[in-house]
Amino acid sequence: MKGYHIWLGKLREGILVIDFGGQYAHLIARRIRELRTFSLLVSADDGINAINRLKENINIRGIILSGGPGSVWEVSHDEIAKWVLHQGVPVLGICYGHQLLAKVLGGKVSRAPKGEFGPTMVEVIDEDIILRGHGKRFKAWMSHNDAVLEEPPSSRVLAKSSGSPVAAFKYGDKIFGVQWHPEVHHTEHGMKLFENWLELTGIKGQWHPSNLIDEIVNNIKNVVGSSKAVAAVSGGVDSTVAAVLAKKALGSNLIPVFIDHGLHPEGEVKRAVVLLEKCGVKPIIIDASERFLSALRGVKDPEEKRKVIGKVYGKVLEEEALRLGAEFLVQGTIYPDVIESGARPGADVIKTHHNVGGLPKDLKLKVVEPLRWFYKDEVREIAKALGLPKELWKLKQPVPGPGLAVRIEGEVTKEKLEILRKADKIVREEIESAGLHDKLWQYFAILTASRATGVKGDRRAYGHVIVIRIVESKDAMTANVAKIPWEILERIVTRITGELDSVTRVLYDITPKPPATIEWE
């Protein structure tokens, strides 16, 4: 693979987020964007010189230091913290960033009196500007073993919790640290904290993703030039928007390709192609289902399944591109794909997405990812601004690139696919007939590797176990379980166990993200 070409943006005022490898680092930048303020993220592992070079892309009006998996005593980022403090702009440290600021400013950071993970009550001591509107106590999302035990000299303690004696502090007029994660939806008043802090930067908040359409199109033109490119499309919002943007840039030199890998939910191929054509993207359809199933034979590990699918997917695309004389591959990778695949330095691999870590390293195509730094809801805003159908940006639920392969535990077979397609169709039909589809992020069925004893027709039955997963989300980085009315769940269970002889039990997954992911595998 010859490298990524990604949009960075022209010089504009905004916020720099320094990423120390935290799972929510880019979510911080995303929250700042929600407040209509441009933000740009850079990895701390890139070093001070790389961070300095970003001044060519952004007039830095404030800096946020993210959380991270390390300890300030195990991983040294003191130089970066000192550089930040010398920029003369407002600074906000979050979790690891909070501890790092406290350390370099002379505070005491050590093992916390007790680790705090998940919802934690925080007591406000001094609201100052950043805790304005938080009340005396509020619930915040914590995830730490270390803590600031003593505030830096000449600073003020703003908040505390049972495991964090200095849960928030202020140093001087512009430097703040908070132990909790205001960027996740689980934290009360999280957006209010960012809004309060942004006041210190003086930014007016007029940035919007849809305003970047012309810039993204021009970027694609500059990268691809007069060459041909194939666009991998699935009918989902990400790949469709990427293809539409590329079509605006390249015209007839953009060739959309839809690969039928045989792992789609029932009716998904037809739905996807019809929707793509409504968006002005008419794809070449390649039936490679037997090729994918053959490659997956005997593969049980979920990470291996994703990598196998990514490898075959890349090879099929490469073959088609070479046949068409194309040099570039346009795909709809968005940031949740990148962050969960561990594609950032210091980040952990949650699961390999077929279009990120799953692509073969020797892919001969140059990859163009115009949406790589955007979240799903931002892509939906771009789709809406492009005038694409509401069916795409409002009603279309995400379907994972590997399809049902990551919703089947263990080896993928034609028999298992048939069972899951029928169960999944029932879930879709009941949710949509109840009018809930436009209120939910995803709703689908999973086929587990478990078997359970049941009774059918007064006889003992021993069959498959199906899990139903229905979640609400805004950006795919976090998700809450949907509280579906009991009578709807009863109808789903009755239909699945009644219409599928091989299924004896149906479960409802009530685990949010985190600690779970949205998909099963």
Residues with active-site annotation: 95, 181, 183
Based on C-alpha coordinates, what's the Rg of the chain? 24
Task: Report the chain's terminal Cα–Cα distance, integer Å.
Answer: 26
Cα–Cα distance for residue pair 297/115, rounded to 1 Å? 44
Q: Which residue has the tokens 């303690």?
A: 157
**Six-digit token pair at 80?**
């970066």
Q: Which two tokens stand for residue 377?
A: 């809801």
Alpha-carbon span 391 to 385, nearest angstrom: 14
Asked whether 422 and 400 are in contact (CB, 8 A), the reply is no
308 with 270: CB under 8 angstroms? Answer: no
CA distance 513 to 118: 11
153 preceded by a cis bond (ω within 30 of 0): no
Q: Are 188 and 142 a contacting pair, CB within 8 Å? A: no
Burial degree of 9 (CB within 10 A; 0-12, 13-18, 19+):
middle
Q: Which residues, including other chains, have CB under 8 Å from residue 2's CB and lie 6 or more apart?
A: 363, 364, 365, 366, 367
3-state secondary structure 148-202: EEECCCCEEEEEEECCEEEEEEEECCCEEEECCCCCCCCCCCHHHHHHHHHHCCC
Contacts by residues 320-326 (CB-CB < 8 Å, ≥ 24 positions apart): 320/230, 320/257, 320/284, 320/286, 321/230, 321/257, 321/365, 322/364, 324/228, 324/230, 324/255, 325/228, 326/227, 326/228, 326/229, 326/230, 326/255, 326/365
Label the pairing between strands 137-150 and 39-43. unpaired
137-150 and 91-94 as β-strands: parallel, antiparallel, unpaired?
unpaired
SS3 43: strand
Residue 84 has which token pair? 């930040």
Rounded-to-integer distance, Cα 139 and Cα 132, Å: 15
